[in-house]
Amino acid sequence: MKNICDWNNCNEIGEYKAPVEKDNSRKYRLLCLEHVKEFNKNWNYFSGMNDDQIMDFLKSDMTWHKPTQNFSSSDNFFKVLWNDTLKDEMDKDKFKSDYNHMSKFKFDHKDIKAFSVLGVSVGLKWQKIQEKFKALVKKFHPDINAGNKKYEEKLKLITLAYTQLKNTYKEKIDT
């Protein structure tokens, strides 16, 4: 069964979808090639909106029209990860020199990648890793960078790398 173009008095085959509403719903009508071109030429998503409504839409579009969570909200994934990262239960007295304490241990590929993400040498003293982590947090924190999502993603990677090394160091010290 072929669909007829949903344009006034057109009897051509309707093969092309055109939205019925602006709300990104799945409602559409089928038009022939000539009329879908006409429709697209005249389509203005923002018709009927004032400047403030357009600006609100564009700001919302930056987050795919989904609500964003403030960094301080209790269920923010990043905050949960962050709080777990800051719980540092290592015995600092077990680390004496910058490198020698870990020389007898081998690091796996996840650890090597984590050292790289943090920009520190493999096997560096835990205290030095903490110092580097704190410096990176100050540099890439979204609040310092006007909420830029690029920095938030970078900080997530840094936090995950730090957590990886924290778990590795804790495991190697406890054994």
Span between the terminal Cα atoms of the chain, in Å: 72
> Taking a C-beta distance cutoff of 8 angstroms, is the pair 165, 114 a contact?
yes
Higher pLDDT, 50 or 24: 50
pLDDT at res. 153: 86
Q: Show me where the domains of the chain are located.
A: 1-67, 77-174
90-117: pLDDT as tens digits: 555 554 444 445 555 678 899 999 999 9
pLDDT at res. 60: 81
Q: Cα 166 vs. chain centroid, distance in angstroms?
A: 23
pTM: 0.46
